[in-house]
Amino acid sequence: MNSWEGSNHILPKFDLKMKFSLLFFIISLFQLQASSGYAQKTKIDLNMRGASVLEIIEAIESKTEFKFFYSKEELDLDRELYLYANKQRIGKVLKKLFPDGSINYRIIDKQIVLTPNGFNKQKEETPPIISTQDPVKVTGKVTDELGNILPGVNVVEKNTANGVVTDFDGNYEIVAQEGAILMFSYVGYTLQEVDISGKTVIDIVLVPDNTELDEVVITAMGLRRDRRTLGYAVSTIKGEELTKAGNPVNPFSILQGRAAGVSVRQSATGPTGGVEINIRGTNALEFEANTRPLFVIDGVPMIDNESSIQASGGDALEKGDYGSGINDLNALDIESIEVLKGAKAAVLYGSAGGNGVVLITTKKGNDNGGLGIDVNYQFSIERPRSYLKLQNEFGSGYNEYTFRDFNNNNDYWMDINGENTLVQAAVPQNFGPAFAGNENVNLLYWDGITRPYQAYPNNFDFIYQDGHTKSTNVAITKGGDFGNMRFSFTNYEYQGMVPDFFQKRNTISFAGRLKVSEKVSIEYSTNYFDIKTQNRIEGFAVGQVNSLNRDAPYEELMANEQYKITDEFLEDGSINPNFGYYYHDDYRDNIDPNFVSEILSNAFYPDMPMARQFYGREADRYVDDKSHLIASIRPTIQITDWLSFTGQASIDLTNTDIENKEKPLLLDPVMLGGEYALSKSKALNHEFRAFMNFDKTFAKDRLRVFAMAGGTFSRQYTDRVYASIYSTPTESGFIYPDFFNLDNQAFTDDIWPDRTSEFERVRGSSVSEKEVHSLLGLATFTWDNVYTLELNARRDWTSTLDPTGGNNSYFYPGVALTWNYTNLAKSLVPAVQFAKLRGSFADIGRDAPSTYFAYQSLNAGSAVNDTDAIRVSAQSSVFGGTIRPERKREWEIGTEMNFFKGNRLSLDFSYYTNNVYDQIMSVGLTPTSGADAIRINAGDVRNWGYELSLNATPIQTEDFRLNMNLTMASQKNVIEKLYPGLPEKLIVGIGHQVEVLAREGERSGNIYAQGPRVVESGEFAGRKIVVTNGTEYALNEVEETLTGNIYPDFLGGLSTNLSYKRFNLGIFLDYSYGATLYNFKDYVLKGTGASVESLAGRNEAYGGLAYYIDEITGEYIPWDHSQSAPAGAEDGLVYHDGIIVDGVQEIIDNTDPLNPIVSYEENDQIVSANDYYTANYIFSTGAEALDGVSNRYDNDYIKIRELSLSYRFPPSVLDKLNLQNLSISLFARNLGYLYKTLPNFDAESSNGTKAFVGNTVLPSAQSFGFQLNLGL
């Protein structure tokens, strides 16, 4: 150790990166030899005395994955010999087995082809001894289902020793007797026999044979494990499934239903926005807690975060839903996605894997693969699909008499240039006169043009356009002695459905394995993404919905180009103080500026999204530019036959620049926008790992022990710097209006005092840094490939918890047991091909939900104005002792079974139950207690559920194959404990009307809402109480009603594949049942009278009641539709849009304040349709008066997610084109719903990740496209 003491003095000066560099450098000095390929890696122990060649071959096959191919007739397999091999490679063993050179052997990965010496040549030169017909030469190419070439396929003339093997390009050439049968065999594929009669070219597509079931899956820490020995559930989604219907903008947006128990929901912003991903319904009692799984790409833990369109509210630098790092991934580069669902599966990832882990493996090369070039091109159209049902019978206004001029006191009459003029007032209400019968009414619109009063049914659709996606990918793979590599470049262009919204991506993926020496190899993976996005969809606030007046001809209004850019300089050379975007003079001259202001203030300002939507989008640029690098290197050193070292250094680095250039839009006298904002941020994940691996068999190979132990170091760092300059509603903040630079600030001081939030500030910065250090280990014991016991342990040290007293450290164990009971099952049910039972337990920990959540401090603030008194503030939360790590304890059992030959039917079932306890949360307190909240470890939520995956191939013939895969998952939970004395916890609320509450003994995610008050007893018991003015029900503010749950009861998907010869038709459906959604924009559409649902009661035909208004009392008096107004009716009018709310009126006599007397009577008050809808639904913003019990929606649906039709060109065509493969497919995504319960909106119209609120009218995108795959 003395020699190391000296090092200790030196090394601490190095930072950690340097330490690891040093570590790898030292390792590289070992000059160990590397190995690669199955044949190279696999060591064989044999000690067989007096055994025949055949017995030895069978022994090798049973011990390894090697498969021998030979003709019994050609070889002497009965020869007996003594063979001893101690951890020798197959080559040496074969040399011993066939020492005289009489047998040629060829090792192609796991296949060993045995032929008599000179086999191929001899067959060509010497015709068969027995021949009734002439020999013919047959050539062809062998590929797999996807058109990939298959080298090394055995092609043997049946019942002869005549055979060849396909070359690296999958081609073969064989001379056989006319009429003979050719047998094509390949490991992992079903044997095919073809009659060669009359054919000289036979191309073969081999179909995978699932009976082998030696599937290797990637598990935690990138360990490749035989699925048969896994004690927990892992779902695998192959890369080709992701790209079957084209290369999606975001590979995760189409995962829904593909893996049981994984819920994926896209938000209303479409594929460039956030995707909600949730494994096993992970939920938390802390709304801010991260419930997303850990994403790991090629061993690199990715930076990931929640995102939401809501963020775009007032934040100058949050103009949309930015998604997260996983949005960047390119599906074409993904080999497979493994989802580790349970705690046991993820235990090696420690805190980060508490919500499950999504392992993404990118495509690599193949050591034996030679050179391959693949090209993929796709083009698709994104078509806006709105589910809105807007009425087109009534226009703007409050009632049928809107056009009457009552004392010049009406929104529709204005003094325009001295004349009382009927104008399109653009009030949000659509309860105006019917279009029918008013065709002759002409309105002055705010562009100065008079138009007839009519509906513009497509005025909403006008806002959106068709988008498109173009993707070109070139991938080059190469294998050889050096190892392998794959280089892929993708250019991706996404044009969204809103003008000027695009995303352009260039992606480079470079990955493979480098054989340094026989014992040292290095796997490397680099993914670089350069992504530029402009004008993301904003979270259009209420303004857009309020502007959907049916008589608003937006297309015409916009086509007029009313706006223009004014000159920067006046004639005298001075700067034009009004330089910018102006209402066009030509139109302004025609119209009273006050009118414009009035219109704008009604229609747009301050809810200006529509104005910005129309004008700003063309002028403004909100650009985020992202450079994202994910890279890792992973050296492996084979120290001994049974001991190896694996290291890994990885980085996920994202630099994002956001630049918002918002031109001042002067709509005299109001100015909209006018802002320049710049933000630069960096997010960095570093991780270093080092493991020793042990792999050895004992007890005559019956017991295999695999163990690993090591440590990881991970660091997450983010920073952000931002600055902005801005205008006020009346004054430009720019010196030069079109010059976007921070130095171009007109105001020298903070003239916008309301800007108080962090994001609204003019400048600021933030930094966050976190480290987790870990030691972990795993040991698996497999007996006879029947029983497998797996033990895990991990200890983390995190910087997010208080280090005093070792509180920042926590340990978690895991254990799993597997029983392969195929033989037993087969004896009972012969159709069984494979059967496994598995069970596992794990107890994992998690650190604080955010980096500094557990840090208690006093905070020095600014000096009290004009004094030297420096404020010191305390946190508004108190701490219930030191925060400990939270825990999740999970039990899981499951089974996998395959039935019938070829595994025509298989099922995978899991049942799990877990308790998430000691959750780190902030519990709201009554401020009277002296704190807003307490941060504590509390709560115990029990979750349980099942996951089922069923795969069936009901039809399989030579040409026709139907495969169906169904996934289903259901989760339930109960909050067993909250905190002593705390009956409930508010998770999130929308106003006071709708709240997600956690209550002891109830399900997590329960939504409570205020509903109508009802009469408790007496004559009117059970009747709803109507508010005094009769428009709506009085809300019960004391007791909330359980209205649903934010999580679905069950969800899943159904994938159907139909192959006929070279055609493949894929249909993918997914479904969700049992979730509840509050759709506020739907309420707004009703409240403003724009939706079809708001037609009831509008007029006599729609069931409206007749009434007149008493001109003295203002009361609404019932009347008859056909009678004219009586004397005393206000303005002599009879109205026909009366509604009486079914309920009772509450009469309170408060003469004695201590003993009020309450009585009830039937409600008979007539209200107008306008008043009714305005009062019962949301008219403007918020949910102030919403009856959350009546206005809830089930969000059940069955969605047609994907449809694809592909065709693989035959080898005859390929040969002519000199291509390895060529396929073309047509696809469509998000076609629509077979069933949905949410009216008027897409079931996936939530605000963003973790949302149960619909708050946008954005249409969803339907994609139609084609893709072309070709291999050179």
Partner 1 sequence: MKKYIYTVLTIFLFVITSCEDKLADLFADPGVYSPTENVVPGLFAQMMSDGSNIRDIGFSWFRNVVSFTGFPVRTHVASPPHLSAPRFADYDNHAISVSEIGVQGTYTFAESRFLELATMDNLIDEMGEDEKNENAIYSHMINIIRLNYYSKSVDLYNSIPYFEAGKASEGVFFPAFDDPWEIYQDIMARYKELADAIEATNVSSFSDKGQAVLQTYDILFKGDTQKWVELANVWRLRAAIRVSDVYPTEAGVVIAEILADGNLPTVDLVGPADESWITTVNNGTYKGNFTRWNYHTQMSPEILYWLDADHDHLYTEGLDDPRLPVLALPNREGLYMPISYDHRIAEAIDEAVTTWNLADNGYNFSQSTSNDRYTNATQHMDRDAYTHWNNYSLMNLTEPYRLFTVAEIELILAEAALKGLTSTGSTAREHIENAVESSINYWYSQNEIGESTNDSNVADLDVDDYNGKGVNFYNMIFPAKPDATAISTWVTKVGQDFDDAAGDEEKLEIIMQQKYIDINVTETLELFAELRRTRHPTLGKYIFTDGSLLENNGIVERYPYNSEAEAFNSDQLDAVQDQNNTSTPIFWVPASKYSVFPYEDNDLYYFNKYPGIPETFN
- For the segment 1024-1083, give every residue that binds partner 1 (CB under 8 A): 1027-1029, 1034-1035, 1037
Q: How far is the CB of 866 from partner 1 (least distance, A)?
A: 4
**Binds partner 1 by CB under 8 A, chosen from 66, 615, 688, 1119:** 688
On the question of a cis peptide bond just before residue 251, with omega within 30 degrees of 0, the verdict is no
Q: How many residues bind partner 1 (CB under 8 A)?
A: 99
Least Å distance, CB 1172 to partner 1, is 15
Structure tokens at 113: 């082809």
Query: In the range 194-233, which residues lie near partner 1 by CB under 8 A?
Result: none
Whole-angstrom Cα distance, residue 702 to residue 698?
6
Q: Of the ranges 14-22, 417-425, 478-486, 1072-1080, which one interacts with partner 1 (CB under 8 A)?
A: 14-22
CB of 15 to partner 1, least distance (A): 10
Contact 248, 256 (CB under 8 A): no
Is the separation of the CB atoms in 24 and 92 below 8 Å? no
State both tokens at 1158: 């309450």
Q: What is the tally of helices (H) and strands (E) in the chain?
A: 18, 69
Contact 1106/1138 with Cβ under 8 angstroms? yes
- Coil, helix or strand for 481? coil
DSSP helix/strand/coil, 357: strand
Q: What's the rounded Cα separation, in Å, for the pair 505 and 272?
A: 11
| Binders of partner 1 in range 994-1013 (CB under 8 A) | none
With respect to partner 1, which residue has the nearer C-beta, 8 or 1218?
8
Distance CA 1198, CA 274 (A): 21
Q: Give the residue from 681, 692, 834 showing the smallest Cα distance to 215.
A: 834
- If one asks whether residue 1157 binds partner 1 (CB under 8 A), the answer comes out as no
Here's the x/- map for partner 1, 626-655, by CB under 8 A: it reads as: -------------xx--x-x----------
Site string for partner 1, 74-113 (x = CB under 8 A): ----------------------------------------
Q: Among 1033, 1231, 1039, which residue's Cα sits nearest to residue 1144?
A: 1033
Q: Kindly tell me which of 260 and 671 has the beta carbon lying closer to partner 1.
A: 671
Of residues 20 and 1252, the one with the C-beta less far from partner 1: 20
Pick the closer one to partner 1 by CB: 61 or 1131.
Answer: 1131
Residue 122 or 640: the one with the smaller Cβ distance to partner 1 is 640
Amino acid identity of residue 878, one-letter, is V
Instruction: Tell me the CA distances in angstroms from 1066 to 237, 249, 457, 957, one per residue in order.
Output: 15, 19, 36, 18
Binding flags for partner 1, 955-994, as an x/- string (CB under 8 A): --------------------------xxx--x-----x--
Rounded distance, CA 827 to CA 824, Å?
5
Which of residues 178 and 719 has its CB atom nearest to partner 1 in the complex? Answer: 719
Query: By C-beta, is 808 or 1059 nearer to partner 1?
Result: 808
Binding residues for partner 1 restricted to 803-832, rule: CB under 8 A: 803, 808
Secondary structure of residue 150 in the 3-state scheme: coil
**Nearest to residue 458, comparing CAs of 396, 560, 394, 388?**
388
Asked if residue 485 lies in contact with residue 477, where contact means CB atoms within 8 angstroms, the answer is yes
Does 606 sit behind a cis peptide bond, omega within 30 degrees of 0 on the bond before it? yes
For partner 1, the binding residue among 1148, 1157, 1213, 1217 (CB under 8 A) is 1148
Closest approach of partner 1 to the CB of residue 406, in Å: 12
| Residues from 327 through 366 that contact partner 1 (CB under 8 A) | none
Name the residue nearer to partner 1 (CB basis): 290 or 410.
Answer: 410
Q: Which of residues 855-914 bind partner 1 (CB under 8 A)?
A: 855, 857-861, 864-876, 878, 880
Q: Position of tokens 């352009």?
A: 504
Identify which range of 193-201, 534-542, 707-715, 1068-1076 contacts partner 1 by CB under 8 A.
707-715
- The residue type found at 708 is M
Q: Which of 730, 716, 720, 718 is nearest to 758 (CA)?
A: 720
Question: What DSSP string describes 1100-1147?
Answer: GGGTPEEEEEBTTT--EEE--TTSPPPTTBGGG--EEEEE--SSEEEE
User: According to CB under 8 A, which one of 571, 574, 1153, 1216 is a site residue for partner 1?
Assistant: 1153
Tell me: does residue 1150 bind partner 1 (CB under 8 A). Answer: yes
245/1167 with CB nearer partner 1:
1167
State residue 287 phi and psi, 5-degree precision. Answer: -60, -35
CA distance 917 to 938: 7
Q: Which is nearer to partner 1, 20 or 172 (CB)?
A: 20
Phi, psi at 87, each rounded to 5° = 50, 55
> Residues 373-412: x/- map of binding to partner 1 (CB under 8 A)?
------------------------------------x---
- 1113 lies in the site for partner 1, by CB under 8 A: yes
- What is the number of alpha carbons within 13 Å of residue 461 lying toward its C-beta? 12
Pair 88, 43: CB distance under 8 Å:
yes
| Cross-strand bridge partners of residue 383 | 1262
* Binding pattern for the stretch 921-960 against partner 1, x by CB under 8 A and - elsewhere: ---xxxxxxxxx-x--------------------------
Per CB under 8 A, contacts with partner 1 among 784-803 are 797-803
Query: Which region, judged by CB under 8 A, interacts with partner 1, from 123-131, 298-306, 479-487, 1153-1161?
Result: 1153-1161
Rounded to the nearest 10 degrees, how much is the dihedral formed by the CA atoms of 1095, 1097, 1102, 1106? -150
- Could you give the CA distance from residue 643 to residue 1091 in angstroms, rounded to a whole number? 70
The nearest distance, CB 803 to partner 1, in angstroms, is 4
Shortest distance, CB of residue 931 to partner 1, whole angstroms? 4
- What residues numbered 564-623 form the site for partner 1, per CB under 8 A? 594, 597-598
Minimum gap (Å) between residue 1143 Cβ and partner 1: 14
* Percent of the chain as helix, strand, coil, to the nearest 5: 15, 45, 40
The minimum distance between CB 238 and partner 1, in angstroms, equals 35
536 secondary structure, DSSP code:
P
Q: Which is nearer to partner 1, 262 or 978 (CB)?
A: 978
Between 865 and 957, name the residue whose CB sits nearer to partner 1. Answer: 865
Q: Which of residues 727-756 bind partner 1 (CB under 8 A)?
A: 753-754, 756
Q: Which is nearer to partner 1, 132 or 867 (CB)?
A: 867
Tokens linked to 326: 């996983």
Would you say 829 or 860 has its CB closer to partner 1?
Answer: 860
Q: How far is 877 from 862, CA to CA, in rounded Å? A: 21
Binding mask 172-201 for partner 1 (x = CB under 8 A): ------------------------------
Q: Which of 10, 26, 699, 1127 binds partner 1 (CB under 8 A)?
A: 26
Partner residues linked to 714 by β-bridges? 687, 772
Using the rule CB under 8 A, give the single segment among 8-16, 176-184, 1070-1078, 1190-1198 that binds partner 1: 8-16
Q: Which of 27, 81, 416, 514 binds partner 1 (CB under 8 A)?
A: 27
Cβ distance to partner 1 smaller for residue 20 or 456 = 20
End-to-end distance of the chain based on CA atoms, in angstroms?
58
- Least distance (Å) from partner 1 to the CB of residue 1002? 15
- What residues numbered 753-772 form the site for partner 1, per CB under 8 A? 753-754, 756, 766-767, 769-771
Tell me the β-bridge partners of 604: none
Cα of 1208 vs its chain's centroid, Å: 30
Q: Is residue 1034 a contact partner of residue 1167, using CB atoms and an 8 Å limit?
A: no
Give whichever of 574 and 1151 is closer to partner 1, judged by the CB atom: 1151
